[in-house]
Amino acid sequence: MRVFRSAWFRISLALLVIAGLVQFNRINLATFAALGDRWPWVVAAFAVMLPSYAIVSIRFWIVLRNQGMNVPFKLALRWTMIGAFFDLAMPSNSGGDIIKGAYVVRHAGVGMRTRGIMAVAFDRVLGLIGLFLLASIAIVAGWHYVRQIPGGNKLLILLPLATAGALMFFRVLGARRLYNNRRFEEAVMRMPGGARLHGVIGSFNSLRERPAEFFAVLALSVLNHVCWCVALLCITRAFGLSVGVVQGFAVFPLAIFGNTFGFAGGFGIGTAAFDLVFSSLLHVSVGAAVGLTFQVLGAMSRLAGLPFYIHHPRQSTEAEPLTRSQT
């Protein structure tokens, strides 16, 4: 397991997958050379990616406040940008969340660490739910176009069901009756780590009891992924592809989700996922090239987090412990 988690293994795997895609002509350098005068679409794709970091910073700020951590927005922005940079700098697509969580826990202090960890986890999970919610909306709203996609019937069933199931999970685990049930609390507290587990359930309950904040976070998650899908539309235009907006918004989220399993933002396995999704659902043979371009631009955009990591604010601002807000 230590070998599988090592940086060299992940880097080697990413390079091996990309080399295989090149060997089997799924990535052809001639494809990039043929872009010609369509390069402005690539620049436009990069420009569309940048606002997403402001959007997810606002989302993370709301999640932190929901969990009783009233930090300034600039601090939530800094943590988000540092996390984005470490998504690139560490050999794991979840490396950024680990670093961001470390900053939050150090700032939170004793008594709020569980809430801080849950805030980071909620931010990631609700972001993924927003990704599939966007795809579900596109499928339902544009079913006339989506049904032309091979496997469109499966998309219509599976994506909305997965989205509804995830939302129901938050609804049930954050139920007021569950959290306030004395017998349930006594049973949980008798378990090993029961106090922490009960705190986790309390974190879900905080989201459940503030629906306006919950739906605001979901809306920001959808808006964030709108930016990434528009960026992908620009990239497909750069490669001369004619993917419709509705079809793209229904299919692109699946390719973007595949980036979760790649190295440093999707390289390797994420590139192969792009190739699979584009070839099977859109009958596009340059999906790997589109994915690789998307990942390179995404990596460049994550470099915007480097100044936030290098610059250290005043120690009193960064390390002052939090106290839970009275609500």
What gap in Å lies between CA 317 and CA 327, rounded to an integer? Answer: 24
Asked if the structure places residue 163 within a domain, the reply is yes
Asked if the structure places residue 303 within a domain, the reply is yes
What is the mean pLDDT for each group of 10 consecutive residues in the chain (327 residues)? 50 60 53 72 94 95 90 93 80 71 83 82 87 86 72 74 83 71 72 67 79 91 94 92 85 83 70 85 84 86 84 54 42
SS3 112: coil
pLDDT of the residue at 327: 36
pLDDT of the residue at 6: 53
pLDDT of the residue at 56: 94
pLDDT of the residue at 60: 94
What gap in Å lies between CA 233 and CA 231, rounded to an integer? Answer: 5
Range of the domain at 306: 37-167+223-317
Asked if the structure places residue 187 within a domain, the reply is no
Residue 299 backbone dihedrals phi, psi, to 5 degrees: -65, -40
pLDDT of the residue at 25: 47
For the chain, what's the residue count? 327
What gap in Å lies between CA 269 and CA 261, rounded to an integer? Answer: 6
Output the CA torsion sign for 14, 21, 42, 278: negative
Asked if the structure places residue 182 within a domain, the reply is no
What gap in Å lies between CA 228 and CA 43, rounded to an integer? Answer: 14
Asked if the structure places residue 82 within a domain, the reply is yes
Asked if the structure places residue 203 within a domain, the reply is no
For residues 9 and 1, the answer to whether their CB atoms sit within 8 Å is no
Q: Which amino acid is at 283?
A: H
Asked if the structure places residue 198 within a domain, the reply is no
**Domains held by the chain: number:** 1
Non-local CB neighbours of 165 within 8 Å, separated by 6+ positions: none
Six token digits for residue 84: 């984005």
DSSP letter for each residue of 234-288: HHHHHTT----HHHHHHHHHHHHHHGGGSBTTTBTHHHHHHHHHHHHHS--TTHH
Asked if the structure places residue 12 within a domain, the reply is no
Per residue in 31-81, pLDDT (tens digit) is: 566 677 788 999 999 999 999 999 999 999 999 998 888 899 999 999 999
For residues 227 and 30, the answer to whether their CB atoms sit within 8 Å is no
